[in-house]
């Protein structure tokens, strides 16, 4: 059995479980006296006598440590699918930019979510400067469908960050393809164990590996996975031009972290749901609790059809900026920090960045792997303590 075959099936043709897949993803054939996951290869160039005939030559083009990681991500994003390719990048934004700038030309039109990742407005400015028309519409209600006419690329982010709205990827992808548009899905929040956009009809799945995919808050990484060889060749070419490549150490750490992805994702998902339920039970102070896996959430119905895990991010609002700041201050097990997806819980008042269109008291909370009862108790205590203004 090659490692690639392990991506999908164990003996008897039965699809193997996510935990098994994650722990074996991308591992090379075992070699006597060699480690299971070969260490990072630090090399700017490789021995290359005579004619360059493919293989590793220069470190901006290819690196064996990336190759292992890229195979692993392909096995997670598209188990059992042939011809799928993944390219690793220095960050999520490097991956996003690689798809957008390699696939679009002046005169093209792209549909972005109006409520997506906070760097999308910067991307929009750059695209517009290059003569590419940018349209936006909200993620909720599949509203991007309404501005799709004549577009060349549809960019989907579901669940959206930080509002946690969800759209129907199958429906949007079918509509986009019917009129010749490509479809890319930002899969950062869900991770490939939460949803697999290529199976839902997308041409590209793109993500930041900085968040829950690697989960320890100690590296930045991005990737693009796709199944069209020509399209992926253009993405590869862009990586060579822009040079936004991951370091071997980051790529190796990321691959090592994938082994625990299912454990982390299951625990973080369960913790997020426990927190969402506890917060919903405090309508005296908490409003607009959002979690795609919460029964009754506006995202739940579609999310439950296309997601297997709902991610670790919960959002909610406190009555005012000061109350939200006191709440964050009072938390002991949840660090006040940006980003999400790490093993240690974090939360932040999103408006401090100015970008997202959310209320002053809007909190984005990322559930870590702490014990659920400790986490819920800490959040409820901080909610109560934040009611009183203290001098300390």
Residues making contact with ligand PLP (CB under 6 A): 91-93, 96, 117, 157, 161, 186, 188-189, 208, 210-211, 220, 222
CB of 221 to ligand PLP, least distance (A): 7
Look up residue 248 and give its two tokens. 């071997």
What lies within 8 Å, CB to CB, of 86 at 6+ separation is 69, 70, 71, 73, 74, 77, 223, 224, 225
Q: Are 98 and 52 in contact (CB under 8 A)?
A: no
CB of 11 to ligand PLP, least distance (A): 37
Q: Considering beta carbons, is residue 160 or 386 the nearer one to ligand PLP?
A: 160
Q: Considering beta carbons, is residue 95 or 289 the nearer one to ligand PLP?
A: 95
Using the 8-state DSSP alphabet, how is residue 35 labeled? -
Q: Are 111 and 153 in contact (CB under 8 A)?
A: yes
CB of 23 to ligand PLP, least distance (A): 24
CB of 363 to ligand PLP, least distance (A): 16
Q: Considering beta carbons, is residue 132 or 164 the nearer one to ligand PLP?
A: 164
Residue owning tokens 């901006």: 60
Q: Residue of minimal CB distance from ligand PLP?
A: 92
Q: What angle do CA 342, 344, 350 make, to 5 degrees?
A: 70
Look up residue 389 and give its two tokens. 């203004």
Q: What 3-state DSSP class applies to 206?
A: strand
Pairing of strands 287-290, 313-317: antiparallel
Q: Considering beta carbons, is residue 196 or 326 the nearer one to ligand PLP?
A: 196
Q: Considering beta carbons, is residue 93 or 278 the nearer one to ligand PLP?
A: 93
Closest CA to 46 of 55, 38, 33: 55
Q: Considering beta carbons, is residue 23 or 343 the nearer one to ligand PLP?
A: 343
Q: Considering beta carbons, is residue 109 or 164 the nearer one to ligand PLP?
A: 164
CB of 117 to ligand PLP, least distance (A): 4
Closest CA to 190 of 215, 221, 158: 158
CB of 250 to ligand PLP, least distance (A): 11
CB of 191 to ligand PLP, least distance (A): 11
CB of 17 to ligand PLP, least distance (A): 27
CA distance linking residue 290 with residue 201, whole number of Å: 26
End-to-end CA distance of the chain: 63
Q: Are 223 and 251 in contact (CB under 8 A)?
A: no
């Amino acid at each position: 059995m090659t490692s690639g075959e392990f991506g999908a099936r164990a003996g008897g043709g039965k699809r193997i479980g996510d935990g098994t897949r994650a722990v074996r993803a991308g591992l090379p054939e075992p070699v006597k006296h060699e480690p299971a996951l070969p260490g990072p290869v630090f090399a700017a160039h490789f021995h290359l006598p005579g004619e360059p005939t493919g293989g590793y030559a220069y470190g901006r083009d290819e690196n064996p440590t990336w190759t292992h990681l890229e195979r692993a991500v392909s096995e997670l994003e598209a188990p059992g699918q042939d011809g799928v390719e993944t390219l690793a990048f220095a960050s999520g934004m490097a991956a996003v930019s690689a798809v957008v700038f390699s696939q679009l030309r002046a005169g093209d039109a792209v549909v972005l979510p109006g409520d997506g990742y906070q760097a999308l407005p910067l991307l929009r400015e750059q695209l517009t400067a290059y003569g590419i028309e940018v349209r936006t519409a909200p993620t909720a209600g599949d509203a991007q469908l309404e501005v799709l006419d004549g577009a060349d690329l549809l960019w989907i982010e579901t669940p959206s960050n930080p509002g946690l709205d969800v759209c129907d990827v199958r429906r949007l992808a079918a509509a986009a393809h019917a009129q010749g548009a490509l479809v890319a899905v930002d899969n950062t929040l869900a991770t490939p164990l939460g949803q697999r956009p290529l199976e839902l009809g997308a041409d590209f799945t793109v993500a930041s590996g900085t968040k829950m995919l690697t989960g320890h808050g100690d590296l930045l990484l991005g990737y693009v996975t796709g199944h069209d060889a020509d399209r992926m060749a253009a993405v590869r070419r862009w990586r060579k031009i822009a040079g936004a490549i991951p370091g071997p150490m980051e790529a190796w750490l990321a691959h090592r972290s994938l082994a625990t992805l299912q454990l982390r994702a299951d625990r973080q998902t369960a913790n997020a749901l426990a927190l969402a339920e506890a917060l919903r039970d405090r309508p005296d102070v908490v409003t607009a609790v959002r979690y795609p896996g919460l029964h009754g959430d506006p995202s739940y119905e579609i999310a439950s059809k296309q997601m297997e895990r709902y991610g670790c991010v919960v959002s909610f609002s406190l009555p005012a900026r000061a109350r939200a700041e006191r709440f964050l201050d009072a938390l002991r097990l949840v660090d006040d920090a940006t980003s999400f997806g790490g093993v240690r819980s974090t939360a932040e008042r999103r408006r401090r960045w100015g970008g997202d269109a959310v209320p002053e008291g809007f909190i984005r909370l990322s559930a870590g792997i702490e014990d659920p009862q400790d986490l819920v108790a800490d959040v409820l205590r901080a909610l109560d303590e934040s009611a009183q203004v203290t001098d300390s």
